[in-house]
Structure 1
């Protein structure tokens, strides 16, 4: 059996950091992920997916992610339920992330003045890579010599 999810989208709000009674950090945020098609009005729609991170990754996300930032999330889908104040059962579907990658530097894209600082930061244990966009030259010719090719 396999339960694995990979998403790329933009945060709809700043992450919310809390701590459990035993002191474990947990951060929640929502990722807006575009659908690969348009509706009848030729507008692109998006899904808004709840993300949960734990421990060091939660603290890192709370410190460095901000609303509008392009982010990749890897994790698993979790469905939980609880009874609300009215006695009705509420079901919650969310992605529990074990790997979050910042796909934009703090000074690029929609977040030029988000005050995050520390561009290019790399975290090995939390699964973060440097903040360069690997597709920044997408669609432009690549300058490569025949000596660089492995075949």
Structure 2
């Protein structure tokens, strides 16, 4: 079985590429961190962060394009894939990617989005003519 479950923070906004008018692929990096701790003898073990390349297809890619942003906390479930390529110097490189089957957004709503909603509500209130109200 090839199954990966990660909880972490998005490292950059998704890059979305359309290969047909309604079909796309999105990719972004994600950081997972193991918190540091102190051993009984006083030795301090620092935090350890790993970076993952996440790849999404079709509907998940469209979701990511609209809703996933740098810094968001997400849960990703998928499978590990490896691919090889030769770089400009002719060196063989291996890329490890997570092909996501499921994503859940764990972040709280963004403050900018909340501010824009409250701004719209405030402007709606200002446009109201008090003389027309029935009370």
TM-score, normalising length from structure 2?
Answer: 0.72
Distance in 1 between residues matched to 2:112 and 2:71, nearest whole Å: 12
Q: Does 1:67 align with 2:70?
A: yes
- The structure whose Rg is larger is 2
Question: What is residue 12 of structure 2 aligned with on the other side?
Answer: 13
Q: Which has the higher strand share?
A: 2
Distance in 2 between residues matched to 1:38 and 1:94, nearest whole Å: 29
Q: Does 1:48 align with 2:51?
A: yes
RMSD: 2.4
Distance in 2 between residues matched to 1:54 and 1:28, nearest whole Å: 9
Determine which of 86, 89, 98 is the counterpart of 2:89. 86
Question: What is residue 29 of structure 1 aligned with on the other side?
Answer: 28
Following superposition, the deviation at residue 19 of structure 1 comes to 2.0
> Is residue 35–residue 46 contact of structure 2 (8 Å, CA) maintained in 1?
no
Distance 1:68 1:54, change over 3 A: same
TM-score, normalising length from structure 1?
Answer: 0.65
Q: Deviating runs (4+, > 6 A) in structure 1?
A: none
Distance in 2 between residues matched to 1:63 and 1:57, nearest whole Å: 10
Unaligned runs of at least 5 residues, structure 1: 118-151
Distance in 2 between residues matched to 1:35 and 1:71, nearest whole Å: 16
Distance 1:41 1:19, change over 3 A: farther
Following superposition, the deviation at residue 43 of structure 1 comes to 3.1
Secondary structure class of the residue paired with 1:113: helix
Q: Does 1:96 align with 2:99?
A: yes
Q: Which has the higher helix share?
A: 2
Number of residues of Structure 1 aligned to a counterpart in Structure 2: 111
Distance in 2 between residues matched to 1:114 and 1:82, nearest whole Å: 40
Distance in 2 between residues matched to 1:75 and 1:92, nearest whole Å: 16
Unaligned runs of at least 5 residues, structure 2: 117-135
